[in-house]
Amino acid sequence: MIDKTEVKKGKYYERFDAYSRFLHVLVITSFISLAITGMIIKFSGSGIFQTLSDMMGGYAVTGFIHRVAAVVTFIYFGLHIGYLIRKIKKKNSKFTSLLHGENSLVPNKKDFTELVATMKWFVGKGPRPEYGRWTYWEKFDYWAVFWGVAVIGFSGLILWFPEFFTSLGLPGSFINIATIIHSDEALLAVGFIFTYHFFNTHFRPDKFPMDTVIFTGKVHIDELKSDRPHEYEIIMQDPELQKKFGEAPPIFLRRAARIFGFTALTIGVILIVLIIYSMIFLYQ
């Protein structure tokens, strides 16, 4: 239970609007559903995943849930693209505005510089970089989703509608190729999200046991100043951005964020353990 005394006094800054937080909830829900059902199918020869399938109602139900989660994935991807288009129109700017600038998620020279500086900081050879709105690892996470939706999503569609795609002239061998791509890329994505992403976002010492900002949308000004000094500096020079300062997120939202977040983290960690166990069991 979260008590009001745990809330820091002072101003909070809204880093993520309600729409972005809603999309992230869709991402988490659909990804975990895809991960569980997908690994059940991939490791169908493992007894522990067979048990999970039985608990969910069998492989027919597992496959149905997998396809529903896939539809949700395409929905949130489309909603995000629409969100970007609306932002461009609202600011009366060009598409190229997304490719550069402080708020751009496109990797640039500064990200490489911060990567090198971070490596030096890890071994005590330099100061911690003054991160801005987006760090290099967050940009990597972002584009990993685009890669996943494109590669895993398209190969999944081929497996879902094989008759349609072969009727377009694709040889039958493409079904086998799609199976390999879909299965192995999905395993890579699950391993990446539940290890690399979990550590960088929640398990690193300064965020452990979890960072709830993506759910509440707000971060305390002291934490923002310490964690992202460059972003803080830009905010303090822009009156429009300063309008995003306000009170702490409501207690019900903080509680919901903790419950939902910890549930997702627990499922992810357990799934990674089961995957490692199954790989050892199947390939010994």
CA distances in angstroms from 54 to 31, 101, 149, 202, listed in the order given: 21, 50, 28, 32
180-212: per-residue pLDDT in tens?
A: 999 999 999 999 999 999 998 888 888 888 899
Q: Tell me what pLDDT residue 2 has.
A: 36
What would the two tokens of residue 284 be? 């010994």
Find tokens 């288009």 and name the residue. 85
CA angle 61, 64, 69 (to 5 degrees): 125
Is the pLDDT reported for residue 122 higher than 70?
yes
Q: Which of 8-12, 44-48, 178-182 has the highest mean pLDDT?
A: 178-182
What confidence tier does 9 reach under pLDDT thresholds 50, 70, 90?
Answer: low
What confidence tier does 100 reach under pLDDT thresholds 50, 70, 90?
Answer: confident
Are 110 and 124 within 8 A, CB to CB? no
Q: Tell me what pLDDT residue 236 has.
A: 94
Q: Please state the rounded mean pLDDT for residues 157-184.
A: 93
Spatial distance between the Cα atoms of 284 and 277, rounded to a whole number of angstroms: 11
Taking the CA of residue 185 as centre, how many other CA atoms within 13 Å lie in the half-sphere pointing to its CB? Answer: 19
Question: Domains, the chain, ranges and CATH?
Answer: 4-282 (1.20.950.20)
Higher pLDDT, 208 or 263: 263
Identify the weakest region by mean pLDDT among 21-25, 80-84, 96-100, 231-235.
96-100
Q: Where are the beta strands (DSSP E) in 130-248?
A: 218-220, 245-246
Q: What is the CA radius of gyration of the chain?
A: 21
